[in-house]
Amino acid sequence: MRSDPGLRHRTLTRKHFLIGAGAALLARCGPGPLVMGPELAPPDAGDPDSRSDSGSPDSGSPDSGPPDSGSPDAGVRDAGVTPQCPETAYDSIGPCHRPNAPIRTLLSEPGDGAPLFITGLVTGKSCRAIANAEIDVWHANAQGTYSDLSVCGGSDGATFRWRGRQFSSQDGAWGLQSIYPGSFQNRPIHIHLQVTAPGYQPLITQIYFQDDPFLVNEGPKPTSLVVLPRWVGAERHAVFNVVLAPV
Ligand SMILES: [Fe+2]
């Protein structure tokens, strides 16, 4: 099963993504009354596998109300609240972002490298799910170079490899299936995110890995940005929740 990434991907279902979103919610907020809805998978979902258990940056109680709808004042209800879900820390965008990546959650192709699955939730500081947040993801390949941009080592033209955009579900769920990146110029291994939603401040940040030997090459990272993947065979599985601040 591990030897055939294509087969592996074909076995992933919406159910896996649902379970992953639930794991992400529990990791953030603990058991609570929020009920997961039926429409978790974003457009063209690659249905990332769900089995992940670490990287929860904080805890708090979920708000059981409906998700933010993406209306212009959606962040108002998060303004001034005591942050049960502290906002995710900023990190630099770096030189390797390329806008208008395809809408997809499967960012790699068979043979690209070691499988990596990330699932999580997008919420406000009250822990209320944010639906339809746009999550733009990009990262280096297993050798530590980015696609498309020569300044970042890319020489493959406009492929958008290891890049993708998606929208959080009605329950705020997001996720990706890709490969574990290599180190870019001896930087800690990382995955870039840019998250935007009406009523909330845009967030640019990076996900780091606690067990990465390159992590010591830079100063300490905010705890909200560091995940510890769980191994499932040859696959890494992690949870990364995104908390946006209101405008
Ligand atoms: Fe980078």
Q: Ligand 1 centroid to 184 CA: how many Å?
A: 7
Using one digit for the tens of pLDDT, what is the confidence trace for 174-202?
999 999 999 999 999 999 999 999 999 99
CA 77 vs. chain centroid, Å, equals 24
Mean pLDDT of 36-57: 34
pLDDT at 152: 85
* Residue 148: pLDDT over 90: no
pTM, to two decimals: 0.76
Rounded to the nearest whole angstrom, what is the distance from the C-alpha of residue 243 to the centroid of ligand 1?
21
Q: What are the structural domains, with CATH classification, of the chain?
A: 5-244 (2.60.130.10)
Å from CA of 163 to ligand 1 middle: 12
Taking the centre of ligand 1 as the mean of its atom positions, its distance from the CA of residue 54, in whole angstroms, is: 22
Q: How far is the CA of 140 from the centre of ligand 1 (A)?
A: 7
**How far does the centroid of ligand 1 lie from the alpha carbon of residue 192, in Å?**
6
pLDDT digits (tens, 9 = 90+) for 222-237: 999 999 999 999 999 9
CB environment 119-129: b (16+ within 10 A), e (fewer): bbbbbbbbbbb
Per-residue confidence at 79, pLDDT binned at 50, 70, 90? confident
Mean pLDDT of 101-111: 97
**What distance in angstroms lies between residue 94's CA and the mean position of ligand 1's atoms?**
6
Mean per-residue pLDDT for 83-107?
A: 95
**In this structure, how many other beta carbons lie within 10 angstroms of the beta carbon of residue 93?**
14
